[in-house]
Structures are given as structure tokens and as C-alpha cells.
Amino acid sequence: MSKDNKESQYKEIVTNKKAKFDFELIEFIEAGIVLTGSEVKSLRDKRANLTDAFARIKNGEIFLEGFNITPYKNGGYANHPEIRQRKLLLKKKEIIRLERMIKEKGLVVVAVRSYFNPKEFVKVQIAIGKPKKLYDKRDTIQKREAKIEIDRALKMRNK
């Protein structure tokens, strides 16, 4: 099975577009996440927000904080809180490596996207990133605007 076909089977829930703008993303890691039933049902309705989500390591475990999952409308008394720490499922070696990178290099672990894999498990793609300075963000904006102008000029030329 080709990589493109494999990725097309994933059902996208939510992406963090701000992560690419605020951080220089170095490495991506796929992690499972521990959720309650009402949280999964709410995610199926795509009622979530990853904008401020980041990972923190505590006592050898990694937790996702700031992942906003709106309470399920038919949840009743068993509904979940909107924002809480959610445990990420990674191997011990990966957690130790992440912890070392965070401490030594001053990097940050941010959530980039969330999706259902083909087996219908919820996965979160986290990325190790280096925070961008203000001038880096300006440079990103200039490059994006230049690309838009080039695309416009090519489109006008091809007409």
C-alpha cells in the first residue's frame, strides 16, 4: 500500500495551523491518547480545538494539556470536562528521549493534529519544535505573501 493511500484512510479531526507559524517543527511523533467515551463521540462530531495544546512530561509519563474537547451534547451525567490533562501513549524510550531533548536543547512539544486511524483509534501527532522569534514570524509572513504574488502572476500570465 502506498503512503498516499495509507494517509487518505485517516479521518482528520482537527489540526493546529498556528503551530507551524509559532514553532520551527523539527520532528513528528504519532501518539495514542487516553479518552473517555463521551470525548470520542464529541471528536467524531469534530468538536475540538488544538490551538493551545502542548505536551508536558511528569513522573515518566507524558500528558497533553490545553486540548479543548467540547462536551458531548447527549453526554448526560457522564460527560467530560472541556479542558483537562489527557495521557499520551508512547513507549518509555520515546518519552525519555523527548524529556532529554526538552531539557538539553530548550525545545517544546506541541500537538499538531488529531485524527482517527484506519482502526478507528484516536491518534495525536505531536511535534518537537523550537519557538520562533518575532523576526522569524515576519520572515514566514513575507515568504507566504511572496508565494501568493508569484502564483497570481503565473495565473495571469497563463490566461
Q: Is residue 147 part of a domain?
A: no
pLDDT in tens, 70-124: 888 877 777 777 778 889 999 999 999 998 888 888 888 999 999 998 888 899 9
Range of 76's domain? 3-132
Cβ proximity of 48 and 67 under 8 Å: yes
Cβ proximity of 47 and 151 under 8 Å: no
Q: Is residue 123 part of a domain?
A: yes
Q: Is residue 45 part of a domain?
A: yes
DSSP 66: S
pLDDT tier at 133 (50, 70, 90 boundaries)?
confident
Stretch 17-29: mean pLDDT: 85
Tell me the whole-structure pTM to 2 decimals: 0.74
| Residue bearing the bigger pLDDT, 5 or 141 | 141
On the CB side of 92, CA atoms within 13 Å amount to: 2
Mean pLDDT of the chain: 84
CATH number at residue 121: 2.40.280.10
Q: Is residue 79 part of a domain?
A: yes
Supply the pLDDT for residue 127: 92
Q: What is the tally of structural domains in the chain?
A: 1
Supply the pLDDT for residue 89: 92
